[in-house]
Amino acid sequence: MFISILLTTAFVLYVFYAAIILLYRKWFLQLKPFTISASFEPKISFSVIIPARNEQDNIEQCLLTILRQEYPTNLFEVIVVDDHSTDDTPVIITRLQEQYPNLQLIKLANILQGKQLNSYKKKAIEIAIRSAKYNWIVTTDADCMVTGKWLENYAAYIQQYQPVFVGAPVAYSNNGSVLSVFQCIDFMTMQGVTAAAVSAGFHAMCNGANLAYKKETFYEVGGFKGIDTIASGDDMLLMSKIKKRYPRQIGFIFSKEAIVTTDPMPSWKSFFNQRIRWASKADQYKDKTVFWVLLLMYLFNLLLIVLPFMILVDTRALYGWIALLILKTLVEMTFAIPMSRFFGLPLKGWYACLQLHHISYMVIAGWMGKFGKYQWKGRSVK
């Protein structure tokens, strides 16, 4: 009886899971690539904000891709907030300032003077916004690289659609390892869902490595007030606040020229810490559609973890588990294939092979994000 109830519940959850995946697929296929008009003239000024902590291996390459934009230098500035780095990150930035006058460095340690926080990144962004000269804030991370037309795409999109908040795609580079491929596929799926959901106006999703919003709008919704004690969420939780105020002025730039690229986590440990950090904000979303979708996915994956342990009780659990794995893979592939074409990521046989990895990390990261601690940038975070 118990196994029958468990299998019935699992298949019911699968039906809802599949319906959501197919809905995202429908919205994704409806997306039209954004192109810059031939008559476009740049008029928008940007303050690009980059929080950085111990990024000496990445910060110079990141900054050079931004500072060498195919966009008028008098229309943008770059503000790097050094978050208590113990390496040569601030030294590299100071050296680049000699060549690029629109590059500014702020040292968070000088402002906080030993004060302890749970979200240093939000404080870094908040302080940078306070110093920003321009009304449009663009955020990215210190380990990212952008295309030469990155800001031009933002400007063209803003001038055409008049949003107050804009997201854009992020992709991982792929070195061919199992860990790298797994992260690329997993993150590609998140980005595909983001593009589809935001463009359809379904719920608020974005990534802080590639987004923009008006400075005046940031202050209008109270900035990070109310979410400033949460370690993560400088992107989606802020977006949720802005979407509540301006539901029809949220946009997404569906363009390969707007993609920001970053390296995947170098180890399974760092990968799990990153995903736990992301999961830690799940129950904080004001946009409850995000919460319920995440809860549905978590419960479905949890049952896929539980079922194999029920095989000793009833062999039907094995057949049901195999059937659910096959069905899950098939429905996800219908969405993954068009996404892979946009991001240029060949799936080959990787998708099916990495299903067990995906299920396991979803359950572990979800649980630890709610009840555990994790390490991030050398800090222990609750």
382 within domain boundaries? no
pLDDT of the residue at 216 = 97
% of residues, the chain, pLDDT over 70? 95
pTM over 0.95: no
Do residue 21 and residue 57 come from a single domain?
A: no
pLDDT of the residue at 12 = 95
pLDDT of the residue at 379 = 59
Whether the pLDDT of residue 278 is over 90: the answer is no
Whether the pLDDT of residue 298 is over 80: the answer is yes
324 within domain boundaries? yes
Read off the pLDDT of each residue in 241-263 and give the average, rounded to a whole number: 95
pLDDT of the residue at 189 = 93
Do residue 241 and residue 309 come from a single domain?
A: no
Confidence of residue 16 (pLDDT cuts 50, 70, 90): very high
Whether the pLDDT of residue 288 is over 80: the answer is no
199 within domain boundaries? yes
pLDDT digits (tens, 9 = 90+) for 201-228: 887 889 999 999 999 999 999 999 988 8
Three-state helix/strand/coil letters over the chain: CHHHHHHHHHHHHHHHHHHHHHHHHHHHHHCCCCCCCCCCCCCCCEEEEEEECCCCCCHHHHHHHHHCCCCCHHHEEEEEEECCCCCCHHHHHHHHHCCCCCEEEEEHHHHHCCCCCCCHHHHHHHHHHHHCCCCEEEECCCCEECCCCHHHHHHHHHHHHCCCEEECCEEECCCCCHHHHHHHHHHHHHHHHHHHHHHHCCCCCCCCCCEEEEHHHHHHCCCCCCCCCCCCCCCHHHHHHHHHHCCCCEEECCCHHHCEEECCCCCHHHHHHHHHHHHCCHHHCCCHHHHHHHHHHHHHHHHHHHHHHHCCCCCHHHHHHHHHHHHHHHHHHHHHHHHHHHHCCCCCCHHHHCHHHHHHHHHHHHHHHHHCCEEECCEEEC
Do residue 144 and residue 22 come from a single domain?
A: no
Among 143-147, 194-198, 225-229, 301-305, the minimum mean pLDDT is found in 225-229
Structure-model confidence comparison of residues 116 and 198, the more confident one: 198
Read off the pLDDT of each residue in 271-300 and give the average, rounded to a whole number: 82
Do residue 100 and residue 246 come from a single domain?
A: yes
Domain end (from 228, 257, 277): 277
Do residue 66 and residue 144 come from a single domain?
A: yes
Domain end (from 231, 246, 277): 277
283 within domain boundaries? no
pLDDT of the residue at 375 = 64
Whether the pLDDT of residue 348 is over 90: the answer is no
Do residue 22 and residue 54 come from a single domain?
A: no
282 within domain boundaries? no
Read off the pLDDT of each residue in 176-194 and give the average, rounded to a whole number: 92
352 within domain boundaries? yes
381 within domain boundaries? no
11 within domain boundaries? yes
Q: Which residue range(s) make up the domain with 228? A: 33-277
% of residues, the chain, pLDDT over 90? 69
pLDDT of the residue at 376 = 62
Do residue 340 and residue 366 come from a single domain?
A: yes
CATH number of the domain encompassing residue 226 = 3.90.550.10
Do residue 249 and residue 340 come from a single domain?
A: no
Domain end (from 277, 301, 316): 277
Whether the pLDDT of residue 374 is over 70: the answer is no
Do residue 181 and residue 221 come from a single domain?
A: yes
Do residue 296 and residue 309 come from a single domain?
A: yes
Do residue 62 and residue 150 come from a single domain?
A: yes
Do residue 37 and residue 85 come from a single domain?
A: yes
Domain count, the chain: 2
Task: Look over the chain and give the mean of its residue pLDDT values, rounded to a whole number.
Answer: 91
